[in-house]
Structure 1
Amino acid sequence: MRKTQWFDFRNFFHKSPSNPSTKPRPLIAYSFVPFSPVAMLDPTILTIGGIVLGIAIIERVLERWGVIDLVDQFAKVMRFILPVTFYSALIYFFATFMF
């Protein structure tokens, strides 16, 4: 037969442990900023931005030259292309960016 060991209830629960039963875990800290601004230097994003900027500069040059009818055509096209380009580039950026 095994010997039974008895503990006093108060001594058992109020006794401070000599060594901690759990080891402290290292603290893992995460950044609240999920991406770096350097990530926006993606060649595709820069190319799309350069094309849009180039078309806007061409539009201003044509306006200075007095070719208003061609500028109006550019404005009609750009009214559709600019929002589509912006949202497409935004979707592309978040789809290809590694978090």
Structure 2
Amino acid sequence: MTTRRKTIKFKEFMDGSYKSYVPKRKSFKAFSIVTVSPTAMLDPTIITFGGIVLLIALAERYSGSIGMYDAAEKIDKLMGLIFPIGALSFFLWFIFTNPFIAWS
């Protein structure tokens, strides 16, 4: 990186006229509709729901690894039906009932 040096007169230095004009940016206000606190994810219901999904996924993987392909396929079909409906309804419940979310 090269820096360009400029020689200025002492009189210009003292009165500050050597400084080039740098236009300032216009500031603007940004408003947030919903603020979500990270501590909202520590809600026991969220942890329970995540734990249940994790246990079902592990059960499906385990049953597939020990050769119970029929059980793994049934778990997969069940989760393919229940998970999207449950996730959407849980997300809506979380948004509308969590006290850590401030509607402003």
TM class by smaller structure: 0.5 to 0.7
Q: Aligned residue for 1:88?
A: 89
TM (norm. structure 2) is 0.61
CA RMSD of aligned residues (A): 1.9
Structure with the greater relative contact order (CA < 8 A, sep ≥ 6): 1 or 2?
2
Paired-residue identity, %: 41
Tell me, which stretches of 5 or more residues in structure 1 are unaligned? Answer: 1-28
In the other structure, the counterpart of 1:38 is 39
Displacement, 1:55? 0.3
Instruction: Tell me how far 1:30 sits from its aligned partner.
Output: 8.7
| Counterpart check, 1:55 vs 2:31 | no
For structure 2, list consecutive stretches of 5 or more residues without a partner in the other structure. 1-28
In the alignment, the residues of structure 2 paired with residue 88 and residue 52 of structure 1 have an alpha-carbon distance, to the nearest angstrom, of 15
So what's the TM-score if we normalise by structure 1? 0.64
CA contact 1:59–1:71 (8 Å) conserved in 2: yes
Write the letter of the residue equivalent to 2:78.
V
